Amino acid sequence: MADWVFSIVDSLGAAGVGLLIFLENVIPPIPSEVILPLAGFRARVGAIDAQWVWPAATAGSVAGALVLYGLGAWLGYERLHELAGKRWFVLSSRKDLERGHALFARHGGAIVLFARCVPLIRSVVSVPAGLARMPLWRFTVLTAVGSGVWNAVFLGLGWLLGENWEQVEGYLAPVSTVMLVLVVLGLFWLVVRRLRGRNRRGGAHRAR
């Protein structure tokens, strides 16, 4: 993966970093843990303009987050709530969706801000923000702040480590793997819980 990241960064410079970070937000399997340290290293050796790397990366983060926010806003809470009542919709029940919506209504700002520093979660958190119709200006500011901190840390690590920038991915890879496993297990648990609840309601209905 590093080879094609190298080619894009060296060909497009800071704009390439912004493009890759945009894609990383929209397509989570592209890891910023590779892109940002590499960009920091290339900025250190003068291959790309150091003063534009962080702004480009942060702009890419915000742009990608806005795409997913728009997806959530387009889907809408009411539409998703209606889908959750369908028998074939196994990802969530209406009750779970209502609880999640209430939680986001109370603590959405903190969730968006701190989730930007959590692998995988930093991408998908934009969707519930859109569903909750968090004010766009607030979502944008929180995303810029959280993503800006994340980007600065990993660009800085790449700068400091120099040619050993790949060590950053080595340290973070287990964390990303654990997060992916937890997300998959969480989705599996939601599906199982939904199916069990449906079976219980079906049994109670037949008993009556």
- Average pLDDT of the residues in 110-138: 84
Contacts of 152 (CB under 8 A, 6+ apart): 54
Lowest-confidence region among 36-45, 152-161, 165-174: 165-174
Task: Give the residue, 185 or 67, on which the prediction is more confident.
Answer: 67
Going along the chain, which residue ranges are E strands? Answer: none
d(CA 39, CA 13): 9
CB 64 within 8 A of CB 24: yes
* Token pair recorded at residue 154: 């990993």
Residue 6 has a pLDDT of 74
Complete DSSP assignment for 28-58: TTS-HHHHHHHHHHHHHTTSS-HHHHHHHHH
Residue type for position 4: W
pLDDT of amino acid 202: 53
Angle, in degrees to the nearest 10, between helices 14-26 and 32-44: 170
SS3 134: coil
Is the pLDDT assigned to residue 198 strictly greater than 60? no
The model's pLDDT over 59-115, given as tens digits with 9 standing for 90+, comes to: 999 999 999 899 888 888 777 767 666 665 555 566 667 777 777 778 788 888 888
Of 28-32, 55-59, 76-80, 193-197, give the lowest mean pLDDT range. 193-197
pTM recorded for the entire structure: 0.74
